[in-house]
Amino acid sequence: MPVKKLYLLILGFAFTGYSWVILNHFLLKTNKPTLNICLFRQVTGIPCPSCSTTHAVLSITKGNFRQALEENILGFPVALMLLIFPAWILADLIRKKESFYHFYFWAESLLRKKWVAYSAIAFLIANWGWNILKNY
Amino acid sequence: MEAQKVDMFLLMNSKFFESHQIPFIRERMLGLDESKYLYIQTAGFKDPTISLIVSLVGGHFGIDRFLIGDTGMGVAKLLTCGGLGIWTIIDWFLIMGRTREVNFEKLQQLVM
């Protein structure tokens, strides 16, 4: 994938992510139900592994880390990515460097290693099980 | 590389690539050394139809992206409920093309 395409994609994701979090923040503030457009949940009625991540990110922004942990632990990596990746990409664009691009492919190759992949899958399945139990 | 071997390869594997890429692949393969043929034959290209089936079933969890080797995008899709459900639907239409693109990138690495 070319550098510019990857940077544009991630900046687009970050922009959508921030808009989504802000929208849900205002919905919560006005006591309206937050948006649930998870296809898997709509079809099966069972939450997917990343359901409640938005709530967890919102709790992190308020400093309620324990509540975020209870809502969905995946909120932590998502919040970190939302915070770091756009800033990193913008810094790369200003300094005309490709450090994030190299990091992205390093992270991809790390995730392709068997022990990392199996550990990640086991963790995700365990977290998904917990997510299902919490919502019943 | 012999033209007969190249044509046989393309006949058997044309579904893995975009039709407009075939003349380029043929040209590059004809200029290759015989010893590279075995590497290309055993490269393990991903089937676009299988990707589509996986996308329809497990696209929400990013499994289709993991399958074709787009690990980063797979993680992004997994962490965002399939890109808020929208990316899942978009990928039903894009995944076959992306699979062929990935296959072409893999082949380019082999023939370079």
| pLDDT tens column, B59-108 | 889 999 999 988 999 999 998 888 888 889 999 999 999 999 999 888 88
Percent of chain B past pLDDT 70, that is, above it, reads: 100
Tokens representing A117 are 């992949």
DSSP string, A70-134: HH-TTHHHHHHHHHHHHHHHHHHHHHT--HHHHHHHHHHHHHTSHHHHHHHHHHHHHHHHHHHHH
pLDDT at A36 over 80: no
| pLDDT tens column, A38-59 | 888 888 888 888 888 888 998 9
Closest residue, chain A, to B80 (C-alpha): A50
Which among B56, B79, B108, B109 is the top mutation candidate for probing chain A, defined by the most A β-carbons within 10 Å of its own β-carbon? B79
How many CB atoms are closer than 10 A to CB A100?
21
User: Closest Cα of chain A to B27: distance in Å?
Assistant: 24
| pLDDT tens column, B12-42 | 888 888 888 888 888 888 888 877 777 888 8
Closest residue, chain B, to A35 (C-alpha): B84
pLDDT at A136: 62
Q: Is the separation of the CB atoms in B102 and B94 below 8 Å?
A: no
pLDDT at B13: 84
Q: How does the average pLDDT of chain A come out, rounded?
A: 88
Residue A1 CA to residue B25 CA, distance in Å, equals: 20
Closest residue, chain B, to A54 (C-alpha): B80
Q: How does the average pLDDT of chain B come out, rounded?
A: 87
pLDDT at B15: 86
> In the block, which residue shows the tokens 């977290």?
A127
ipTM of the complex: 0.84
**Interface list for A 27-46 with B (CB within 8 A):** 37-40, 42
Chain A residues in contact with B80 (beta carbon < 8 A): 13, 17, 50, 53, 78
pLDDT at A31: 74
**Interface list for A 42-101 with B (CB within 8 A):** 42, 48-51, 53, 74, 77-78, 81
| pLDDT tens column, A54-67 | 889 989 998 888 98
* CB nearest B60 (choices: A13, A40, A111): A40
Q: Is A31 left (phi over 0), alpha (psi -120 to 50) or beta?
A: left
